[in-house]
Amino acid sequence: MNQEQIVIKSALDAWTTYISRTGTLIQSLTDEQLQQPVAPGRNSGVYLLGHLTAVHDGLFPLFGLGEKKHPELEEVFLTNPDRPDPKRPAINELREYWDQVNNDLLHYFSQWTVGEWLQKHAAVTDGDFAKEPHRNRLNVLLNRTNHLAYHFGQLAFLKK
Amino acid sequence: MNQEQIVIKSALDAWTTYISRTGTLIQSLTDEQLQQPVAPGRNSGVYLLGHLTAVHDGLFPLFGLGEKKHPELEEVFLTNPDRPDPKRPAINELREYWDQVNNDLLHYFSQWTVGEWLQKHAAVTDGDFAKEPHRNRLNVLLNRTNHLAYHFGQLAFLKK
């Protein structure tokens, strides 16, 4: 491995570690547990599950990998806060979406070369990217890993 | 910037972002708020502040930068769980230690070359590092950033 490959391995290891930890936690929680707020007055487990899935689903268009798999999640879990919503998918569907979205992403992530990781993401113009070359896919991956860890720390409170 | 420098900028930006967010949150909380558990039956804010400071303080020896600044934190905030402890420093001391440790670390982090970031850390033998070159300082930084984000997500619950 050369230096760039070493660094990308570290970043990808961190991502897969938190995807795996979060997946294991979600599997260990019953639907009833997931419906509870993670702390008094805070988001429910199911909202955070939908929120994380929606954010990760957004990586497909951001990384030029096609459309979102579940664009309907955006309104329920990104635009709006946690609230009773007839558009909210059933928990077993959300569990499936979590697996599907993250497995599909990993299919790409595990194959990308250094050059592919350092390509610009779709939210940056060519002109801005020329000036700010760190606004690449890898940078997004690091930020999304931290976002995942942030909410995983909250989801952990559902475990008694 | 070359490719390695671009990647290191991303990793360091993520670290400083979460250090800054956590510092701003801590400053905005009163001592009384910090003494509350972040959720019922969970760690207090002051314990998490001490815990994060102790973990970051451990980066000095791990990165070959000398001794810990506050080795006394280890027993109170790493070895033992949150509990009444006469050895626990006062909150205003912990606030100072947080700033001191993270400012001192950033002094080094902001100057390191790519080669310095990719050096092995002290917990890896030369033999293991030859086989697993990703066990370097940068890898530790990524993991500590995620650890920080994990607990920052919990500390955020102290904000009403």
Nearest to B133 by CA among B117, B149, B110, B154: B117
Whether the CB of B65 is below 8 Å from some CB of chain A: the reply is no
User: Within B29-156, where are the H helices?
Assistant: 31-35, 45-57, 59-62, 73-74, 91-109, 114-117, 126-131, 137-155
For chains A and B, count residue pairs whose Cβ atoms are closer than 8 Å.
Answer: 103
Phi-psi region of A41 (alpha: psi -120 to 50; beta: other; left: phi over 0): left
| Residue in B9, B134, B151 closest to A10 by CB | B134
Q: Say if residues B116 and B104 touch (Cβ distance below 8 Å).
A: no
Distance from CA of A119 to the nearest CA of B (A): 11
Whether the CB of B22 is below 8 Å from some CB of chain A: the reply is no
Distance from CA of A147 to the nearest CA of B (A): 7
Whether the CB of B62 is below 8 Å from some CB of chain A: the reply is no
| Residue in A4, A10, A133 closest to B142 by CB | A10
For residues B43 and B38, what is the distance between their CA atoms, to the nearest angstrom?
Answer: 6
Tell me what pLDDT residue A98 has. 98
Q: Say if residues A146 and B146 touch (Cβ distance below 8 Å).
A: yes
Is the pLDDT at A3 greater than 90? The verdict is no
Whether the CB of A145 is below 8 Å from some CB of chain B: the reply is yes
Nearest to A16 by CA among B13, B17, B146: B146
Structure tokens, A133 = 């070359």
Condensed to tens digits (0 to 9), the pLDDT of residues B108-141 reads 999 999 999 999 999 999 999 999 999 999 999 9
- Mean pLDDT of the region B84-98: 97
Structure tokens, B10 = 């991303």
Tell me what pLDDT residue A51 has. 98
Is the pLDDT at A4 greater than 90? The verdict is no
Tell me what pLDDT residue A1 has. 83
Tell me what pLDDT residue B33 has. 98
Tell me what pLDDT residue B30 has. 98
CA B158 to chain centroid: 19
Q: Say if residues A148 and A52 touch (Cβ distance below 8 Å).
A: yes
Q: For the complex shown, is ipTM > 0.95? A: yes
Interhelix angle A3-28/B3-28, nearest 10 degrees:
40
Q: What is the CA radius of gyration of chain B?
A: 17
For residues B30 and A112, what is the distance between their CA atoms, to the nearest angstrom?
Answer: 47
- Mean pLDDT of the region B57-84: 98
Q: Where do we find the tokens 């070895």?
A: B79
pLDDT grade for B4, boundaries at 50, 70 and 90: confident
- Mean pLDDT of the region A100-111: 98
Verify whether the Cβ–Cβ distance A134 to B6 is below 8 Å: yes
- Mean pLDDT of the region A104-126: 96
Tell me what pLDDT residue B142 has. 98
Interhelix angle A45-57/A3-28, nearest 10 degrees:
150
Condensed to tens digits (0 to 9), the pLDDT of residues A20-48 reads 999 999 999 999 999 999 999 999 999 99
Output the CA torsion A37→A70→B10→A43 (10° steps): -10
How many C-beta atoms surround the C-beta of residue B56 within 10 A?
Answer: 23
CA A88 to chain centroid: 18
Of chain B, the percentage scoring pLDDT greater than 70 comes to 100
Verify whether the Cβ–Cβ distance B134 to A13 is below 8 Å: yes
pLDDT grade for B1, boundaries at 50, 70 and 90: confident
Distance from CA of A87 to the nearest CA of B (A): 27
Distance from CA of A21 to the nearest CA of B (A): 12
Tell me what pLDDT residue B150 has. 98
Residue of A nearest to B9 (CA): A134
Whether the CB of A128 is below 8 Å from some CB of chain B: the reply is no
Is the pLDDT at A11 greater than 90? The verdict is yes
Half-sphere exposure of B141 (CA within 13 A, CB side): 31
Is the pLDDT at B3 greater than 90? The verdict is no
Verify whether the Cβ–Cβ distance A6 to B133 is below 8 Å: yes
Chain B residues lying within 8 Å of A25, measured CB to CB: none
Phi-psi region of A25 (alpha: psi -120 to 50; beta: other; left: phi over 0): alpha
Whether the CB of A21 is below 8 Å from some CB of chain B: the reply is no
Condensed to tens digits (0 to 9), the pLDDT of residues B17-67 reads 999 999 999 999 999 999 999 999 999 999 999 999 999 999 999 999 999
Whether the CB of B10 is below 8 Å from some CB of chain A: the reply is yes
| Residue in A39, A136, A153 closest to B150 by CB | A153
Condensed to tens digits (0 to 9), the pLDDT of residues A52-105 reads 999 999 999 999 999 999 999 999 999 999 999 999 999 999 999 999 999 999
Distance from CA of A57 to the nearest CA of B (A): 21
Whether the CB of B114 is below 8 Å from some CB of chain A: the reply is yes
For residues B4 and A4, what is the distance between their CA atoms, to the nearest angstrom?
Answer: 6
